[in-house]
Amino acid sequence: MNSYVFKVEEQFNNYSVLNFLKAIGLSQEIIKSVKFNGLFVNDIKVKNINDTLTRGDQVKIVFTDVLNPYARQENGNLTVLYEDDYLLVVNKESGVLTHSSRYNKTPSLEGLVYNYCKNSPFTFRPINRLDKDTCGIVLIAKDELVASLLNEELKQGKFEKRYIAKVKNKPLKSHFIIEKPIARQSESSIKRVIDKSGQYAKTECFYLGEDGGGLHNIEVLLHTGRTHQIRVHLSSVNLPLYADALYGEKVEGKTYYLNAYKLTFTHPFLNKEIEITATI
């Protein structure tokens, strides 16, 4: 269980509890989850979120963690890149699922994080999610409020996410931008396609040169965050990731290389820019 106390400053005098919560950045989902049992003003439970606040009031918000019933502690390597009271940043290995699931028994980042945090109440809330075979940085909020604030920052495009991708073909330009809408191929398919009916997507690419093993390195800056965006966009310009069986060519015994190696964001409580870099 986590709690936060906010003092009502002069600019919020005569605000309702509801409008105060909105003003400090809480989402509708968060407000809904705490309004019956998790809201207190001057240590008295709030019965009506339309009650009026007065300058100097103390608004307390209490969150109760709800665990994933399919999560299980898993032993294994967990590389922690950054940690404080509010968030955890780790480096996910290729081949590891982000989430645990009921039917999938393969290793998951969720299981490794639960094992790491086993001595404290914790709900796994990744802000950015990586595909199983994509490696790199995953940002994890330690409670519901931090998750809400970071998700809003992500939604507003304030995160800077950079990746390294390995492709077989050499790009024609050292710098290029791909702006093509992405849609699901069909309702039952995980595959995405370029389609005018899809969601707007923008990918910026920088050619870094050969990697010494016959492949080419491309740095990718994501301006939007659609499912499989990098893989779909690069494939659409004849630069599919090497060994990407879904969007390129299958290579027996190999999988594609896509590394989320750099993440920059503003810390929601420390109010400072955090830049995390992982091993390439």
CA distance 26 to 146: 10
Answer yes or no: pTM beyond 0.95: no
Q: What is the mean pLDDT of residues 40-46?
A: 95
237-272 pLDDT, tens digit each = 999 999 999 999 999 999 999 999 999 999 999 989
pLDDT mean across residues, the chain: 92
Q: Band the pLDDT of 73: cuts 50, 70, 90.
A: confident
Exposed, middle or buried: residue 178 (CB in 10 Å: 0-12, 13-18, 19+)? buried
Please report, to the nearest 10 degrees, the dihedral formed by the alpha carbons of residues 211, 214, 218, 224 taken in order. Answer: -130
What the block records as the tokens of 12 is 């919020």
195 is catalytic: no
Domains of the chain and CATH, by start: 2-63 (3.10.290.10), 79-156 (3.30.2350.10), 161-260 (3.30.2350.10)
End-to-end CA distance of the chain: 36
Question: Number of H helices and number of E strands within the chain?
Answer: 5, 16
Given a cut of 70, whether residue 25 has pLDDT beyond it is yes
pLDDT at 24: 87
pLDDT at 28: 86
Given a cut of 90, whether residue 44 has pLDDT beyond it is yes
pLDDT at 71: 65
Residue 27 neighbours by CB under 8 Å, 6+ apart: 148, 151, 152
Catalytic residue (choose from 131, 133, 143, 244): 131
Using CA atoms, how far residue 18 sits from 6, 40, 233, in Å, is: 14, 12, 42
Q: What is the mean pLDDT of residues 7-16?
A: 96
112-122 pLDDT, tens digit each = 998 898 777 67
- Provide φ and ψ at 48, rounded to 5°: -140, 115
CA distance 256 to 14: 56
